[in-house]
Structure 1
Amino acid sequence: MDAQGQPILEVVDLVKDFGGLRAVDGCRLEVRRGTITGLIGPNGAGKTTLFNLVTGFLRPDAGRVLFQGEDITGLPPHQVFRRGLARTFQIPREHRLMSVLENLMLVPPGQLGERFWNTWFRPGLVRAQEEAIRHRALEVLEFVELAQLQDEYAGNLSGGQRKLLELARVLMADPLLVLLDEPGAGVNPTLMRKLASRIEDLQGRGITFLIIEHDMDLVMRLCNPVIVMSEGRRLAEGPPEEIRRDPRVLEAYLGGQYVAFEG
């Protein structure tokens, strides 16, 4: 499982019902290590529900999730996160009344300063760890080009800057696999190019990505392979240009998204 191109994530026959609605219907897919894999499909296809199942925010009614060969089905989100599988949200969940830098410094788990007695009995260790975390946070902010905003309240950032901050917060956890939920939503073209460039750089550093995205131009530029979901199941998978011409995919998108493939 450690080799480049081997599955880092395996979804096996996942099922999730909400009352009488089956949102995910026996879905099977794999994400290969070292890839930027796109996950697309019409609205209501089950993409975000699948993300929630993989990351522990929902429990499946059937099926399994394997991460690096380990069964993580139904683990709570914090345990999934600590294994190296991290996600961002469609609406970034930053702490709006804290600075950009403080948002990053909160991420690493197990900080000594979280236990009040350490501040009394081990102050040197607490300061040393805090300084190391601060140094790491500043490096990450430089990487996503937000260092100049380190002291700004997170709530004052633009939509695109908040997406970069969300990515930066995920990077503080040193993830192996990052799930991005619509990173292009509400982001202007300049910041979108910056975000896409950062994702490609991180792929080069060994981080794997699974990305839900409706912007087909972004998917075609960034993702290979592309997985298509429809009605809770995997409909197709392949290189972006092959997916673009797949008649089953075009049919699934009729009535709203078809033009995105033809344009």
Structure 2
Amino acid sequence: MTTQATEDEGLHNKTSRSSGALLLEVQGLVRDFDSLRALDGADLSVREGTITGLIGPNGAGKTTLFNVVTGFHLAQAGRVIFNGKDITNLPPHRVFQHGLCRTFQIPREHQSLSVLENLMLIPPGQQGERLFNTWFRPGAVRRQELANRDKALEVLEFVELDHLHDEYARNLSGGQKKLLELARTLMTDPQLVLLDEPGAGVNPTLMHRLTDNIRYLNRERGITFLVIEHDMDLIMSLCDPVVVMSEGRQLMTGSPEEVRRNPRVLEAYLGGQYAAVEG
């Protein structure tokens, strides 16, 4: 492919991404923890088909934003609109049912279960959860379990953890647990995945695998991503657009190059006004 063709393709991709439908819209979120205002009228939008980055100094409110959007914390003001529906303050399982999934800074695997079992727990509406079905419809329960197992093995193969499917999840390395977190989200066929510091504690080899997976899922399966990450090289190479938060609200949104050149972003990172309370 010629250089000009590559540039044209990149321009086409950026244009199509910037014109995607609005998938997530955060409007004026407020959240206090005692005397600390973690979110102070936070706004954010994510368009369908993008890998959107979310950056900011420690204490800017990024993880709190994730927690409010996904129902782990309640908003005290503001709204969360996902796919045209108001999901503000829905409990996490209801947010999950809408096709919005998230991972955590510290993976939350079921340590006493195998890698495969961790994935098979995820699909909603499992018939085996009802006593009636286990007694009177065992065939249907068994067929669904086999289908879930086949899908789980396919997902594990995709993230290259299939050789560890019988291993206890607690025995995985930090990077492997991050891959398992991503694999668990894929069991739901999500529209939007919120990734909270996927690169933290991950060695370069596994990080390369993880970012390749994210790009593939975005490009080939149409999954949209919103990514919190402190590794600026990773954000700048993976994400477009990039949203910058400061003091509980949005500071700016732009391309990686625009963010890199913005003096307000530099001031927010180097101004020294942040305590390392929450990332």
TM-score above 0.5, yes or no: yes
1:101-180 to structure 2, matched below 5 A, reads 101-180=116-195
Distance 1:253 1:114 in 2: 49
Q: 4+ residue runs of structure 1 moved beyond 2 angstroms?
A: none
Provide the TM-score with structure 1 as the length reference: 0.94
Distance 1:29 1:48 in 2: 13
CA contact (8 A) 1:54 1:65 kept: yes
Instruction: Could you tell me which runs of 5 or more consecutive residues in structure 2 were left unpaired when the two chains were aligned.
Output: 1-17, 273-279
CA contact (8 A) 1:26 1:63 kept: yes
Deviation per residue, 1:114-139 (Å, 9 max, x gap): 12232221111011000000011011
1:25-64 to structure 2, matched below 5 A, reads 25-64=40-79
Aligned residue in 2 for 1:252: 268
**Is 1:195 aligned to residue 210 of structure 2?**
yes
Displacement after TM superposition at 1:192 (Å): 0.2
1:8-27 to structure 2, matched below 5 A, reads 8-27=23-42
Displacement after TM superposition at 1:255 (Å): 5.7
Aligned residue in 1 for 2:11: none
> Which amino acid is the alignment partner of residue 155 of structure 2?
V
CA contact (8 A) 1:86 1:175 kept: yes
Q: Matched residues, percent identical?
A: 73
**Is 1:212 aligned to residue 220 of structure 2?**
no
Displacement after TM superposition at 1:4 (Å): 6.1
Aligned residue in 2 for 1:224: 240
Aligned pairs, number = 254
Distance 2:223 2:60 in 1: 26
SS at match of 1:214: coil
Distance 1:6 1:112 in 2: 35
Provide the TM-score with structure 2 as the length reference: 0.89
Between 211-220 and 108-117, the greater mean CA deviation after superposition: 108-117
Distance 2:169 2:271 in 1: 38
CA contact (8 A) 1:4 1:34 kept: no
